[in-house]
């Protein structure tokens, strides 16, 4: 009888441990957001045409985001303060506008104006986005508008949130930006009409 109770007790402990692990894993995938800079600092584009004609936009690509991302501390004369950004690798699926430095089916690193930090022993991560920019999700496809930065030897996502648009409909967090910023919603509508999966291109 005692042996049976011990077996039941061990099974119950293992079950609780498994449930706890699953719950922790779910919570660990959640990202809480703490805004760093106000979106009022970003000059909005009135149309997609205006964005694409901006001479600062060196590259326009359709790309898939990889898991390869890491924080980078940004310092320099162009910013009054030091801050963190995320250096993220993307695979180029299609080149729309090129500066001659990129190739199809190759990877390139881009700087995203946001910072992702693990919560340590607590589950989940905290994101510190600048200018309402939420980090691109691994495995998802986007249209990126990129500007080369010599000091960082990488491409910045240009215009903060105005430089990234999910086109496969799988980035649920981007819906937050769409619902909060009408200008972004209108720009993304134009991007999807021109480059989305249903445009036949």
CB 131 within 8 A of CB 160: yes
Is residue 201 one of the residues assigned to a domain?
no
27 and 117 co-located in one domain: no
Predicted pLDDT at 194: 96
Predicted pLDDT at 43: 84
142 and 57 co-located in one domain: yes
Phi then psi dihedrals of residue 52, to 5 deg = -75, -20
Phi then psi dihedrals of residue 61, to 5 deg = -140, 155
36 SS3 class: coil
107 and 13 co-located in one domain: no
User: Token pair for residue 35?
Assistant: 């805004």
Read off the pTM: 0.79
pLDDT digits (tens, 9 = 90+) for 149-196: 998 899 999 999 999 999 999 999 998 889 989 999 999 999 999 998
CB 201 within 8 A of CB 192: no
CB 129 within 8 A of CB 114: yes
pLDDT level of residue 36 (50, 70, 90 thresholds): low
Average pLDDT across the chain, whole number: 82
6 and 100 co-located in one domain: no
Is residue 200 one of the residues assigned to a domain?
no
Residue from 145, 113, 116, 112 nearest 130 by CA: 113
55 SS3 class: coil
Check residue 135 and report its DSSP letter.
P
94 and 163 co-located in one domain: yes
5 and 76 co-located in one domain: no
82 and 20 co-located in one domain: no
**Domain residue limits at 52:** 34-195
Q: What angle do CA 146, 192, 66 make, to 5 degrees?
A: 50
């Amino acid at each position: 009888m005692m042996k049976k109770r011990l077996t039941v007790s061990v099974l119950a402990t293992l079950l609780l441990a498994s449930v706890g692990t699953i719950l922790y894993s779910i919570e660990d995938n959640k990202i809480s957001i703490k805004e760093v800079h106000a979106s009022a600092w970003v000059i909005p584009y009135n149309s997609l045409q205006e964005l694409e004609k901006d001479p600062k936009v060196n590259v326009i690509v359709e790309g898939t985001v990889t898991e390869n991302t890491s924080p980078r501390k940004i310092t320099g004369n162009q910013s009054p303060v030091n801050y963190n950004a995320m250096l993220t690798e993307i695979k180029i699926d299609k080149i729309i506008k090129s500066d001659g430095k990129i190739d199809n089916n190759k990877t390139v690193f881009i700087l995203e104006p946001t910072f992702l930090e693990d919560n340590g022993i607590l589950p989940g991560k905290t994101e510190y986005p600048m200018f309402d920019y939420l980090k691109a999700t691994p495995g998802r496809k986007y249209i990126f508008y990129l500007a080369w930065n010599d000091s960082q030897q990488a491409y910045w996502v240009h215009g903060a949130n105005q430089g990234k648009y999910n086109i496969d409909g799988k980035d649920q967090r981007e819906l937050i930006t769409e619902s909060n910023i009408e200008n972004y919603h209108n720009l993304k509508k134009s991007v999807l009409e021109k480059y989305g999966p249903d445009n036949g291109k």
